Amino acid sequence: MTSQQFAVAIIGSGNIGTDLMLKILRGGGPLTMAALIGIDPTSDGLARAQRAGVPTSAQGVDGLLAMPGFDQIRLVFDATSAEAHVKHWEALRHTGVRVLDLTPAAIGPFCVPVVNLEDHIDEPNLNMVTCGGQATVPIVAAVNQVAPVSYAEIVSAISSKSAGPGTRANIDEFTETTATALKVVGGAQRGKAVIVLNPADPPVIMRNTVYCLVEGDCDQTVIEASIAAMIERVQGYVPGYRLKQPAQFETFGPEKPLHIPETGKFIGTRVTTLLQVTGAADYLPAYAGNLDIMTSAALATAKSIAAHEMTKVGV
Ligand SMILES: NC(=O)c1ccc[n+]([C@@H]2O[C@H](COP(=O)([O-])OP(=O)(O)OC[C@H]3O[C@@H](n4cnc5c(N)ncnc54)[C@H](O)[C@@H]3O)[C@@H](O)[C@H]2O)c1
């Protein structure tokens, strides 16, 4: 390994872990694949890693810690499940290795790279929220930058085929972690998240609906411009991220307020943004933009961490 390389390992050889590995193997940065770790020796992800010459272990995090050269690994991605991540963090936290958590365990602070990466670049454990969070939090942040968002609600629809057992075990964590990130990172005062696993065949492309309530008057042109600028930034790592149609604005005046069960009458504007995320088809076909929005965000974050760490040691 040269001083220009930054060795990483992935725990979890399912949909997310395998897609991320294929992106790292494609190159284009300092990251090198030091290991793919699973618990299922027959998994497609481990077989692909072996064919690509990537060291593997089916012994979970213990297998990773026992690998010769573990001390050369600078960062570990966790793509297993929220429950498993709690144990993995316990095992890794004292080793000094950086951890990027792609499950919704939310142990470390949330990272949505286009919104807040610089705030947390030195955190030992960073949480990448959820696929729905990576797709929608940037829009809430974009609206909130120009018109305070009192409530954000999002619906992410993904194809059933792209949701592995790890994702299915984490539906509650998805809704809780995403809703929290809409507030903590997006800036909304309140948030709610819904996920739909759509069994349609052929599978549907990832779609996201983002509702933002903005109290009082707002300048629609300014909001549209802020959303457009944010979409361009996300496209920097997910080219298939786009508006399905122009943002919609619906105004509720004092004569016709919107009734919200929890808070009562709302007077202001509802901004509705409809997004589609087409994937790069590195592992699953292009409908699974939900893989790409997560793995590309994690990859962009890891590359920034690598550059930051390398600057620190002066390489
Ligand atoms: N699929 C998506 O669209 C998506 C998007 C963003 C985030 N996520 C999150 O990523 C995680 C993985 O989702 P997935 O769809 O890839 O699930 P998956 O079931 O396809 O993959 C999980 C993998 O982790 C392995 N694993 C489980 N426990 C392990 C352990 N203790 N040690 C090592 N390996 C272990 C499993 O054998 C499996 O190969 C979930 O937490 C999910 O919420 C999924």
Domain boundaries, the chain: 6-128+293-314, 131-286
Taking only the tens place, the pLDDT of each residue in 148-182 is: 999 999 999 999 999 999 999 999 999 999 999 99
CB 300 within 8 A of CB 30: no
Predicted model pTM: 0.96
Which atom from ligand 1 is nearest to the alpha carbon of 168? 43
Residue 257 has pLDDT above 90, yes or no: yes
pLDDT band at 57 (very low <50, low <70, confident <90, very high): very high
Which one-letter amino acid corresponds to residue 77? F
Q: What angle do CA 104, 192, 206 make, to 5 degrees?
A: 65
Cβ partners under 8 Å of residue 170, min gap 6: 81, 82, 103, 104
Distance CA 300, CA 152 (A): 26
d(CA 176, CA 190): 12
CATH architecture of 6-128+293-314: 3-Layer(aba) Sandwich (3.40)
Atom of ligand 1 lying closest to residue 16 CA: 16
Percentage of the residues of the chain whose pLDDT score is greater than 90: 93
Distance in angstroms (rounded) separating the CA atoms of residues 134 and 70: 30
Looking at ligand 1, which residue's alpha carbon is closest to its atom 15? 164
- Is residue 27 very low, low, confident or very high in pLDDT (cuts 50, 70, 90)? confident
| Distance from residue 183's CA to the centre of ligand 1 (Å) | 25
Where is the binding site for NAD(+), in residues? 13-16, 162-170, 290
- Rounded to whole angstroms, how far apart are CA atoms 76 and 298? 11
CATH of the domain spanning 131-286, picked from 3.20.20.70, 3.40.190.10, 3.30.360.10, 3.40.50.360: 3.30.360.10
Selecting among 111, 131, 212, 218, the annotated active-site residue is: 131
